Amino acid sequence: MGRNKHLKDLAWGLADRGTAVLRFDKVTYAHPAEVENEPDFTLTDEYVHHAVAAVQLLRRHPSVDADRVFVLGHSQGGTVAPRVAAAEAGVAGLVILAGGAQPLHWAAVRQIRYLGSLNPGQAAAARPAVEAFTRLAEAVDSPDLSPSTPRSELPFGVAAPYWLDLRGYDPVATAAASGRPMLILQGGRDYQATVADDLALWRAGLAQRPDVTIRVHDADNHLFFPGAGPSSPAEYEPAQHLDPAVVADIAAWVAAH
């Protein structure tokens, strides 16, 4: 993310505390041309197969306790982590960092509206973009959405099969049904996955689960970088490091399980 590698910070921080970490590039980063040419590409194709393979690789590793392999996902990775657990029985638990629970297409509308509000003088200029993206989001919810719906009519130009798969996925309900212990961490200043819009859904859906721990780091943004005031994309540019308290939270929770 610019000059920052918050997941590398996390991996090294956990390794310092005795927790082995396997991280890998998403297929959309490693093989963008192949993904672009795959018309039926879905959320499962983006995450699940590779994460399941990673869990199985770790469980076979002689230095790893096969019964204590956890899946950690950040942002959309946190959204999809419950689906990984549903697909792989060997997952011992989940760590969800700033995981979106609101549907992605409407979260995008909310983010565009928020970014337009950061400069009141440009709010009116941002309104057409908000309205245009709202129409794209409405197309995702339309009963007329089909695999043949043109990409140009959908958010981010992503093909319809991806949205059909995502539209049928409820991350909170999937997490509740998984039976795995969970640690959910959220930045209080995050505008991409928010306390009010996303964490509230995790809390409501998992309220009856005593094995779910939820913690908010009030000063942190979406990348869990501490700061002050309203968060903005400009915060992601200066070189900085993940909040050490987040590393400590995860290390302690994993050790306790």
- Residues identified as active-site: 75, 190, 222
Q: How many CB atoms lie under 10 A from the CB of residue 249?
A: 18
Question: To which residue do tokens 């505008």 refer?
Answer: 191
Between helices 49-60 and 76-87, what is the axis angle to 10°?
A: 60
CA gap 23, 11 in Å, rounded: 8
Tell me the C-alpha to C-alpha distance, in Å, between residue 156 and each of 16, 68, 112, 136. 39, 37, 13, 9
